[in-house]
Amino acid sequence: MLQLADATVWQAWLKQQPVDAAPVVATINELGASIDPAALAQLQNDYMQQLGELWQNVWMSKAPAVADRRFAAPEWQAHILHSFSAASYLLNARFLMAMADATQAAPKAKQKIRFAVQQLVDAMSPANFLVTNPEAQQKIVETKGESLAKGIANMLADMQKGHISQSDEKAFEVGRNVAATEGAVVFENEFFQLLQYKPLTKTVFEIPLLVVPPCINKYYILDLQPENSLVRYAVEQGNTVFLVSWRNPDESMAHATWDDYIEHGVMKAIDVVQDISGQEQINALGFCVGGTLLAAALAVLYGRDETPLSSLTLLTTFLDFSDAGVIEVFIDEAQIALREQSIGKGGLMPGRDFTAAFSSLRPNDLVWNYVKSNYLKGEDPPPFDLLYWNADATNLPGPMFCWYLRNLYLENHLVKRNKLTVLGQKIDLSKINAPAFIYGSREDHIVPWRAAFESTTLLNPKKRNRNKFVLGASGHIAGVINPATKKKRSYWVNDESASSAEEWMQGATENPGSWWPEWAAFLAENGGRQIKAPRTFGNKRYEAIEPAPGRYVKVRAE
């Protein structure tokens, strides 16, 4: 049984039960949803029964089992008060999420309800507060208060930086130990620098590869360190690789449009690569938003009866935005209209807003985990190249960003034949006539893999056997950055055409390791003959300007 001193604490704590569902009810009402009274009554009955069992265990001095990694440390089991705190929180969380799931609402409204409730639930974890976190309390005792002082210092430093530190940012430097693959800038304008990388083989394929990364992030996610650099891997496979390094916009670009990014960005990069390589056709890769920009630019070119491609690669890319996943919680008519009013005719979408939005999609991993370690326990985050990149935000011009949100995310016009006009050209993705390698990540919360698969139905619709879809394990970034040498995770392939993602998955075969060799084989099939590797960067028209990674990638968003 509990000691008397403990019983007094418990009597005060238990008066707070049962869970306060008022914020959830308010969210449901705000979005015009409802819950069937019978379903709610059943949830309440189940909740009270489970809560009663918890109380019974406590009065019998039996610590409840807690199966959640946030409470895995031994301190949570060292005292029944803490294990009960964790167990009751998890019970309350399940009840609130069950309420969200039981709402009767349109799918998008229900998704917003579930997202809002999940944010509330994750924020209320006892692991996030010093007064209820026994790990942090024990650390204060062990360090004689030093961890508390260090945690406060860490918090104040992050407040100055404007973001939570997820990595030891002093451990990395762009151009020294990330974005360090050797090359040179061979072209630049106000939108991008074009990098050309030094060959690592004596001969190369005659068809060069142009990489178009997302303009919403820095390009070096594709060139972190030598052992996990997709860029270096492509060079090692005998490809002459060019890459677009987008400029981090400032006020001088506040009026740039989607058409500007197509004409002065992607299309100009294609033109320069053709000129330097002497090849009319090139291989092109687009990643995430970079893939969307690339496809739009190619639709313009093919609409003009130009045929610039030997092959196309799209990595975790939206062309069909009909299922945009959880990110749709940020996208509706009201929110986009507000953006259009504030920055649609000029201004910048701050990079820090992107970082905050993406972090909220995985708050336990990308927010609260670091609140606990950095602030409550006074620990410094370890060096991690991917999370260093994640904090290196980029801005976007307001007009370009608002056009993208309305026409693609909200209206899904890109897949509607001749609905969009870009640079005076009606857009028809089906005119892009080249073999396509399309990759999706199975746990991707930004571009759901089924949405990525839909690109196989939009490209080469009459010759779909020219399209190859590969599904990788893990998420939006970790699934893509899966080096072949590490032999981690797995991927799925199915060489038979399928009319739906489900049909494709039913016939797919799982393979261990990285999907990168599958892509390398695809590039080799479309790379042409082998020629002697070039000894210099650029050509007479486009001479080397400065060494890679160039100036643009080093500019930090203010």
Separation CA 46–CA 66 (nearest Å): 19
Looking at the fold, whether 208 and 304 belong to one and the same domain comes out as: yes
SS (H, E, C) 62-126: CCCCCCCHHHCCCHHHHCHHHHHHHHHHHHHHHHHHHHHHCEECCHHHHHHHHHHHHHHHHHCCH
Domain assignment of residue 136, yes or no: no
Looking at the fold, whether 308 and 190 belong to one and the same domain comes out as: yes
First to last CA, the chain: 58
| Residue type (1 letter), 390 | N
φ, ψ (nearest 5 deg) of residue 254 = -65, -15
φ, ψ (nearest 5 deg) of residue 34 = -150, 170
With b for 16 or more beta-carbon neighbours within 10 A and e for fewer, the 226-238 pattern comes to: eebbbbbbbbebb
| Residue type (1 letter), 278 | G
Distances (CA, A) of 125 to 13, 44, 327: 16, 21, 23
Neighbours of 529 (CB within 10 A): 8
Looking at the fold, whether 243 and 105 belong to one and the same domain comes out as: no
- To the nearest 10 degrees (0 to 180), the angle between helices 80-101 and 22-30 is 20
Looking at the fold, whether 14 and 90 belong to one and the same domain comes out as: yes
Domain assignment of residue 310, yes or no: yes
Per-residue confidence in pLDDT tens, the chain, 558 aa? 233 334 443 344 344 445 566 666 676 677 677 888 888 889 889 999 998 888 888 788 888 888 899 999 999 998 888 999 999 999 999 999 998 999 988 888 899 999 999 999 999 999 999 999 999 999 999 999 999 999 999 999 999 888 899 999 999 999 999 999 999 999 999 999 999 999 999 999 999 999 999 999 999 999 999 999 999 999 999 999 999 999 999 999 999 999 999 999 999 999 999 999 999 999 999 999 999 999 999 999 999 999 999 999 999 999 999 999 889 999 999 999 999 999 999 999 999 888 888 888 899 999 999 999 999 999 999 999 999 999 999 999 999 999 999 999 999 999 999 999 999 999 999 999 999 999 999 999 999 999 999 999 999 988 878 899 999 999 999 999 999 998 889 999 999 889 899 999 999 999 999 999 999 999 999 999 999 999 999 999 999 999 999 999 999 987
Q: Is 32 helix (H, G, I), strand (E, B) or coil?
A: coil
Counting Cβ atoms within 10 Å, is residue 433 exposed (0-12), middle (13-18) or buried (19+)? middle
Looking at the fold, whether 225 and 98 belong to one and the same domain comes out as: no
Looking at the fold, whether 212 and 115 belong to one and the same domain comes out as: no
Q: Nearest CA to 198 among 543, 539, 537?
A: 537
Residue with tokens 């204060």: 140
Looking at the fold, whether 209 and 315 belong to one and the same domain comes out as: yes
Residue 93 structural domain:
4-128
Domain end point (choices 128, 148, 169) = 128
Domain end point (choices 112, 128, 144) = 128
Contacts 24+ apart (CB under 8 A), 456-461: 456/498, 457/499, 458/319, 458/320, 458/415, 458/429, 458/430, 459/312, 459/319, 459/429, 459/430, 459/432, 460/430, 460/432, 460/433, 460/434, 460/435, 460/436, 461/430
Looking at the fold, whether 15 and 110 belong to one and the same domain comes out as: yes
Domain assignment of residue 213, yes or no: yes
Domain assignment of residue 50, yes or no: yes
Q: For residue 440, what are the β-bridge partners?
A: 471
Q: What is the pTM of this model?
A: 0.91
Looking at the fold, whether 311 and 448 belong to one and the same domain comes out as: yes
Domain assignment of residue 398, yes or no: no
Residue 218, both tokens: 């820095």
Considering the candidates 288, 309, 312, 523, report the single residue annotated as catalytic. 288
Looking at the fold, whether 80 and 213 belong to one and the same domain comes out as: no
Residue 475, both tokens: 């998420």
Looking at the fold, whether 121 and 199 belong to one and the same domain comes out as: no
Residue 13, both tokens: 């704590």
Q: What is the DSSP letter of 1?
A: -
CATH number, domain with residue 486? 3.40.50.1820
Give the distance from CA 5 to its chain's centroid. Answer: 49
* Extended strands (E) in 356-487: 396-397, 421-422, 425-426, 436-441, 467-472
Looking at the fold, whether 428 and 548 belong to one and the same domain comes out as: yes
Domain assignment of residue 302, yes or no: yes
| Residue type (1 letter), 56 | Q
Separation CA 150–CA 108 (nearest Å): 43
Domain assignment of residue 147, yes or no: no
Domain assignment of residue 436, yes or no: yes
Domain end point (choices 83, 105, 128) = 128
User: Based on C-alpha coordinates, what's the Rg of the chain?
Assistant: 26
Active-site residue 402, yes or no? no
Instruction: Quote the number of domains for the chain.
Output: 2
